[in-house]
Structure 1
Amino acid sequence: MSEAYVPESRWRMVAAVALVGGGLLLAGVMGFRTLRGDGATAGADVSRVAFLDPEGTRHTVADYKGKVVVVDVWATWCPPCRKSLPEVAELQKAGGDRYVVLPISVDRNGWADVTPFLSKNPQLGLKAYVPDGRGGLEPLGEIRGIPTTFIIDREGRVVKRWSGYGEGMAKRALDEALQGR
C-alpha cells in the first residue's frame, strides 16, 4: 500500500491553526494522508499498530492488551500538536496499570526530527515513539489531520477517534473508556 504525503512546507501552510468555538484547535489539513482507505472507526481492531521506542525496540498496541491505550499521532512542526503535548505528557505520566499513552510522531525524518525537539522541550517529559516503517500505522487507516487521537479498549479495538486538539478532550475520552462507557 503506497502512502501519499503533502510536502512539509505545504503542510505547514495548510496547518495554519483555526480557532473554533470553545478553544478547540483544528488543523486545516485537507489532503494530508498517511494511508489510503477509510480511517479506523469504533470497533476496528488496531492491535497490529507497530511503533519503535527511542532505543529502537518494536512494540505493538497488542503488547498492551488488558489496558486502555491512547494513541496520539502528532508531528514536531504541527502547532496544534505542540499545544496538545503538555496534556499528552501529563496523561502519559499518570498512566500506571490502568492505561498507557503512546504519542507516535509522523515526522518525515523520524528520530532525526523528534530527538532534537524533545531535547529542546525537556519540560514535557514525554516519551515519544515513531511508526515501525511505512506500514506501522496502517491499521489506523487514513489520517487526514494531526493531531489525531485514538482511544483503544483493553482488547485493541477503537473506542473513539478525533482530529484536532481541544483542552481536556483526551482526558474526558480516556475517563469514559476506563469506566467502560
Structure 2
Amino acid sequence: MAALSGLRATRRTIALAAAGTLAGAALGRKALAAKLTESAPKPLPEFSFTDAEGKPHTVADFAGKGLLINLWATWCPPCVAEMPALDRAQAALAAESIVILALSSDRGGRAMVEPFYRDKGIRQLGLWLDPRGAASRALGARGLPTTLVIDREGRERARAEGDQPWDSPEMLAAIRRLVGPPRSAPDQERT
C-alpha cells in the first residue's frame, strides 16, 4: 500500500511539473513575468520540510520574518530558470529579515540539490528539502514552480505560478510591501 501511495505521489509531482513547464512554454517567459497574484491575508496550512541535515522545520520556525516559499525541483526547466533570480533576491532582501525558502521536491534530497546549487552558483539560498511533496500538497500548488509571499504574521499574501523575475526592482518592491516592515525591537519583545 505504501508503494502505491508513493507511486501516486510521484505521478502527481510529475504532473505538477509538466503543467508548470507547459504553462511556461505556452505563455512564454515575458507573459509569465510579474504575475504575482495578491490575495486577502490567509493563514497557512500546517506542513513541514527539512534542512540539509534532515532536521524538520515548519514556517513557525521563521516567526516575524517575511517569507517567499518557492516550490521547485532540479528537473523542472522553469524552476531552474528562476533559481539565479531567487538567489539574487535573497541577497537583496536578507538584511530586511526576508527569507526565501526554496523547497526542493527532488526525491534525491541533498544529494541532488547540493551539486545543483554548486553548478549554478547558488550561494544565498538555504538548502531546504520537501522530497515527499508535503508542502506542494498542503499549499495547493498546481505546478512547479509555485511561489508564495508570506507576511510577517505568517499569512499568505500573494502567489505566482511559473518562473518570475524575482530580483527585478518591481518584484522586490512588491515583496517588501506584501511582507511588511521588520518589527522594531520593542515589538519583538512583546511577542
Bin of the TM-score, shorter chain as denominator length? 0.7 to 0.9
Question: Hey, what does 1:18 align to over in structure 2?
Answer: 25
Q: Secondary structure at the match of 1:5?
A: helix
- Structure 2 contact 73–106 (Cα < 8 Å) conserved: yes
Q: Does the residue aligned with 1:115 lie in a helix, a strand or coil?
A: helix
Which aligned runs of 4 or more in structure 1 are off by greater than 6 angstroms?
none
Write the distance in 2 (CA, Å) between the matches of 1:22 and 1:170.
Answer: 15
Candidates 68, 80, 83, aligned match of 2:81: 83
Q: CA deviation at 1:6?
A: 3.9
Query: Which runs of 5 or more residues in structure 1 are unaligned?
Result: 27-40
Encode CA deviations 1:114-143: one digit per residue, 9 max, x unaligned: 22322322x121322112755455541x21
2: distance between equivalents of 1:137 and 1:14?
A: 13
1:60 is aligned, of 58, 76, 83, to 58
Counterpart CA distance in 1 for 2:144 and 2:173 is 19
Change in CA separation of 1:179 and 1:119 when aligned onto 2, cut-off 3 Å: closer
Separation in 2 of the partners of 1:10 and 1:47?
19
Shift of 1:83: 1.2
Alignment TM-score, normalising by the size of structure 1: 0.73
Q: In the alignment, what sits opposite 1:5?
A: 11
Q: Helix, strand or coil for the counterpart of 1:96?
A: helix
Task: Point out the more displaced range, 110-119 or 17-26.
Answer: 17-26
Please say which of residues 5-14 and 100-109 is displaced more in the overlay: 5-14
Per the alignment, do residues 8 and 173 of structure 1 end up closer, same or farther by CA in structure 2, a change over 3 Å counting? same
Taking the aligned partners of 1:146 and 1:173, their CA distance within structure 2 comes to 21
TM-score between both structures, scaled by the size of structure 2: 0.69
Aligned-partner residue type, residue 87 of structure 2: A
- Alpha-carbon offset, residue 90 of structure 1: 1.4
Q: For this pair of structures, how many residues does the alignment match?
A: 164
Q: Secondary structure at the match of 2:25?
A: strand
Q: Higher Cα Rg: structure 1 or 2? A: 2
Please identify which structure carries the higher helix content: 2
Identity %: 31
Moved more, 1-10 or 93-102: 1-10
State how far apart, in whole Å, the 2-side matches of 1:72 and 1:10 are: 14
State the superposition RMSD in angstroms. 3.3
Correspondence for 2:108: 109
